[in-house]
Structure 1
């Protein structure tokens, strides 16, 4: 996987990568990460991808992270890994 660039964000670590004829947007926070893939032929420039990383998208990403955290916490409790 080839690193392209970081995208500034106050809430997340966001990186754009290139791999296997796809651009990959990796969004990280704490111990969770989300990845989004788009075929290289779908966009002309990396700047087009950056433009898509807007506030509505980041709000949806935050909601998904919240859901992921709740799901993980629930399984840890359900399986008595933590009390």
Structure 2
């Protein structure tokens, strides 16, 4: 797995990887992470993948992190 680059953001860590004919967009927030896989043949290159990670994309991921955190806390409270 090769690190293509990191995208700085104050609320999360965003890393772009190239692996197995795919680009991976990995977004981390605390103990949670989301990974998006993109076939390398569906984009023109690394720069297009980086452009995809705009503020709207990141905001949706951050909202999803809130939902993920709630789900985890509810699961823990049931045990």
Q: Is the TM-score greater than 0.5? A: yes
Provide the residue aligned with 2:66 in structure 1.
66
1:33 partnered with 2:33: yes
Structure 2 length as normaliser, TM-score?
Answer: 0.95
Structure 1 length as normaliser, TM-score?
Answer: 0.90
Provide the residue aligned with 1:4 in structure 2.
4
Aligned residue for 2:9, secondary structure, equals coil
- Which whole-Å deviations, capped at 9, do the CAs of 1:33-64 have from their partners, x for residues lacking one? 00000000111121111111111111110111
Provide the residue aligned with 1:76 in structure 2.
76
Runs of at least 5 residues in structure 1 that lack an aligned partner in the other structure: none
Provide the residue aligned with 2:57 in structure 1.
57
Question: For residues 72 and 9 of structure 1, what CA distance do their matches in structure 2 show?
Answer: 24
Which consecutive segments of 4 or more residues in structure 1 shift more than 4 A? Answer: none
Larger radius of gyration between Structure 1 and Structure 2: 1
